[in-house]
Amino acid sequence: MRIHIGTDHAGLEFSTQLQHHLAEQGHEVVDHGPIEYDPLDDYPAFCIRAAQAVVRDQADGVETLGVVFGGSGNGEQIAANKVLGVRAALVWSIATAELAREHNDANVIAIGARQHTFDEAVSFIDRFIATPFSGEERHARRIAQLAAYEQDGILVPDPREGQPEPDVLDASDSFDPEAG
């Protein structure tokens, strides 16, 4: 499988180690940068390029996934999700790595390189790569809704439409959880 990687200065050392690990596992690794440490570099350019490559490869029928990371993984996930066709998930455990693939057919994951040990992060990445999309109808339906919105901005009808307005609490209302 081809794996596209993008990071920033916070993940540069991690990136080098990860590339060796993935190559040893038999994957083709494409590094989208950075190539040298610069504490002022910006992750969007690197992560967006990695995400674009994933979408391009998938459109060409290449089996591929992406991994983006930085200090927290949050900004990197946001950057990757700006690319049409990307479903990037922030992963922080084995379970979130599996669910990202099984339920969301995520094609990119984001990880906080400063939030986990290298071994933890690699276990998440390995699980993500090894886990297939379940293909269950409910998950496929939801992914199709996301893709449709991404293409034309149209949402499925609001199930609350035509219903009475919900009660709204304001700051002067009191709430007693014991009141039942």
For residue 160, the one-letter residue type is R
Mean pLDDT of the chain: 92
So which residues are the catalytic ones?
Answer: 76, 103
Query: How many other C-beta atoms lie within 10 A of the C-beta of residue 97?
Result: 25
Please tell me the predicted confidence (pLDDT) of residue 38.
Answer: 86
Identify the DSSP state of 9. Answer: G
Please tell me the predicted confidence (pLDDT) of residue 174.
Answer: 66
Residue tagged 């009141």 (tokens): 179
| Range in 75-84, 135-144, 166-175 with the lowest mean pLDDT | 166-175
Mean pLDDT confidence for 40-51: 94
Instruction: Extract the runs of DSSP E, i.e. beta strands, from 12-87.
Output: 28-31, 64-70
pLDDT band at 179 (very low <50, low <70, confident <90, very high): low
Residue count (the chain): 180
Please tell me the predicted confidence (pLDDT) of residue 80.
Answer: 98
Mean pLDDT confidence for 120-142: 97
3-state SS of 138-173?
HHHHHHHHHHHHHHHCCCCCCCCCCCCCCCCCCCCC
Please tell me the predicted confidence (pLDDT) of residue 48.
Answer: 98
Mean pLDDT confidence for 96-112: 98
Residue 64 contacts residue 4 (beta carbons within 8 Å): yes
Q: What's this model's pTM, rounded to 2 decimal places?
A: 0.88
| Range in 37-46, 110-119, 134-143 with the lowest mean pLDDT | 37-46
